[in-house]
Structure 1
Amino acid sequence: MPEYSVVVPVYQGEATLRSLTLQIQAFFQELGRSFEIIFVCDGGPDNSWQVIQTLRAELGADVIKAVQLSRNFGQHNALLCGFRHVCGRFIITMDEDLQHRPTDIARLLERQAEADYDVVYGKYETLQHSAFRNSTSRTMRRLLRLGIPDLHPDYSAFRLIKMEVAQHCLMMRNSYTFLDGYLTWVTNHVASVPVEHQERAVGKSAYTVGKLVAHSINIFATFSDLPIRLLSITSVVVFLLTSAYSIYVLVRKFLYNDFLSGFPSLIISIGFGVGLLLLGMGILGEYIHRINLKTTRRPNFVERQVLD
């Protein structure tokens, strides 16, 4: 049985998979540890699956496992799929685009051994994206930290996870998968270690700004209670303001009687009441939608072919 399982979600890896595989193999051979690589082909537009099959034929079924999904289910669902097929005591997740250096796995292992951490994140010292992408990523990260206070500040796609922690993640069935949110629910025995973030070897990221925004909104609605708390606080503030204003109108009515009859109450009911109701219906609608997705038991991934 291998000691380490490297899970790699693959979307556009045709040009980088061979180099990544050979680097991972060289690292573990030098370390003298047994390993396996699980590639999960996530419905990408290139010939990644053919490359994976070739690598498996060359290196052997004991080194490379492969799963081809029926369509694109997203990075986090692809990782969960990979977790179903791992055999190692420790799981390392990394991207296929060579922005994560396989030699930095050593840093994750050393950090984990310091206190037997359940999860160790690779913390990027410098992000190798465009200035705009870096800025939006930092903003999204701050917002997610606000919405999910327990989320580790250094969370990233380059992780070391204990097998038993990953298995707990497989038991969850949410309408939207956010692996780092799952890990936050499972354990708080988490650490991080600085690693290098390299430039993409080829092509460009499939994560556009629009996808990042949609990703963050889904995370907020699924994993954070911040929207509901904002609604509750807003409701209390509006109630206090409208109550105070109503008392003011009532007192002024008795003292001066200089308001048009019915005008203040009409403005309050329409302006504050209808606006607050619409806001509440919008937020509750998001939650009801996700509850509906969960009750329909929509699968997070569907396996088309398994080479195990």
Structure 2
Amino acid sequence: MLFFDAVTKVFATINTDEPRYQPEYTFIDDGSSDHTLTILKQLQAAHPETVHYLSFSRNFGKEPALAAGLDAATGDLIAVMDVDLQDPPELLPQMIDLIENHGYDCVGTIQKKRRGQGRFRAYLSTKFYKINDAISEVHIEPNARDYRLMTRQMVDAITSLPEYNRFSKGIFSWVGFRTKYLTYESQPRAAGDTHWSLMQLFNYAIEGIIDFSDVPLKIATWVGGASFILAVIGLIVVVVRALLVGDPVAGWPSMVSIILLLGGIQLFCLGIVGEYINKIYLETKHRPKYIIKERK
């Protein structure tokens, strides 16, 4: 309700002279266990022409929910927003103006500093963007939010991508189109708390890197080649030492070290390859990104 009221007030200021814009709301209930669906039903009943909702059969995650919203959107301009009001609706008039009067296809947002985010998380987030920018052909603006306004043409391009494994920030950049970014101060949550743990954020970052870069596979190849060279050098050292010293028992520490080195490198490389194979496995199943239990 807080989100709906806030956005409605913004459009009331835009439509002061004439009703130029008619907002349409599509809420995604990602398998919530609270009273979200009940509230959405009440809101839809009060505004049947402008409010719609999709309720998933279970929790599918952020990316499927975002994809479902874009699939269901029917407007000429489509905005992606979180309902906790950390994405300020007050930016919408400026975003609309930039698209309609300045030739942009998309207006994204960058949050200066996230409230409630510890220094360690902020440090990891900054490093992720730097690493991704270094090894991926797709540039992602540091600290960019999913909050953005897009044209119908851009959204159609995004929804045409069939992949199951999705990293929206990368997809937004990959499809291209002329994009402008607005910077804003972080906003406190209107309600609720984040459910993203550090491990979930780490896994999400790994998925983003794997989805748009094959450099990890190349790293595995380089590491494998380097380990082979080191193993050969180690073998030569062990043989020469055995011939000169004549005490093979004394060489067991170096042998164990070489075995552990090779074993660790092999497991590291297999882990990287396994991540890519896992993505391929999920793609070949052709499972839907989400399942809708109820919609209105």
What range is the shorter-chain TM-score in?
0.7 to 0.9
**What's the RMSD between the two structures over aligned residues?**
3.0
Q: How does 1:137-148 map to 2 (within 5 A)?
A: 137-148=125-136
> Aligned to 1:298, which of 282, 287, 293?
287
Structure 2 counterpart of 1:150: 138
Paired residue secondary structure (1:35): coil
* Cα distance, 1:126–1:277 mapped onto 2, change above 3 Å: closer
* Cα distance, 1:17–1:120 mapped onto 2, change above 3 Å: closer
Query: Normalising by the residue count of structure 1, what TM-score does the alignment of the two structures yield?
Result: 0.80
Q: How does 1:1-308 map to 2 (within 5 A)?
A: 16-30=2-16, 32-61=20-49, 63-113=50-100, 116-132=103-119, 133-154=121-142, 155-187=144-176, 189-244=178-233, 252=240, 257-258=244-245, 260=247, 266=255, 270-307=259-296
Instruction: Note the alpha carbon deviations across 1:232-273, whole angstroms, 9 max, x for none.
Output: 2222333344445556667x579x733656959955862443
Distance 1:178 1:51 in 2: 29
Query: Normalising by the residue count of structure 2, what TM-score does the alignment of the two structures yield?
Result: 0.83
Paired residue secondary structure (1:205): coil
How much identity, in percent, do the aligned residues show?
22
Paired residue secondary structure (1:194): strand
Instruction: Note the alpha carbon deviations across 1:107-156, whole angstroms, 9 max, x for none.
Output: 32334356533332111233223334444433444444345352321421
* Cα distance, 1:98–1:227 mapped onto 2, change above 3 Å: same
- C-alpha displacement at 1:186, in angstroms? 1.5
Distance 1:280 1:273 in 2: 11
Distance 1:237 1:248 in 2: 16
Q: Which moved more, 1:150-159 or 1:132-141?
A: 132-141
Instruction: Read off the aligned partner of 1:199 and give its amino acid letter.
Output: P
- C-alpha displacement at 1:196, in angstroms? 3.5
Distance 1:224 1:244 in 2: 32
Distance 2:13 2:48 in 1: 17
Structure 1 gaps of 5+ residues are 1-14
Distance 1:166 1:59 in 2: 25
Q: Is the 8 A contact 2:3 2:83 kept in 1?
A: yes
Distance 1:240 1:188 in 2: 46
Q: Which moved more, 1:84-93 or 1:270-279?
A: 270-279
How many residues are paired up?
290
Instruction: Read off the aligned partner of 2:74 and give its amino acid letter.
Output: C
Instruction: Note the alpha carbon deviations across 1:5-43, whole angstroms, 9 max, x for none.
Output: xxxxxxxxxx63443443354354348323311111111
Distance 1:183 1:130 in 2: 24
Paired residue secondary structure (1:169): helix
Instruction: Read off the aligned partner of 1:208 and give its amino acid letter.
Output: S
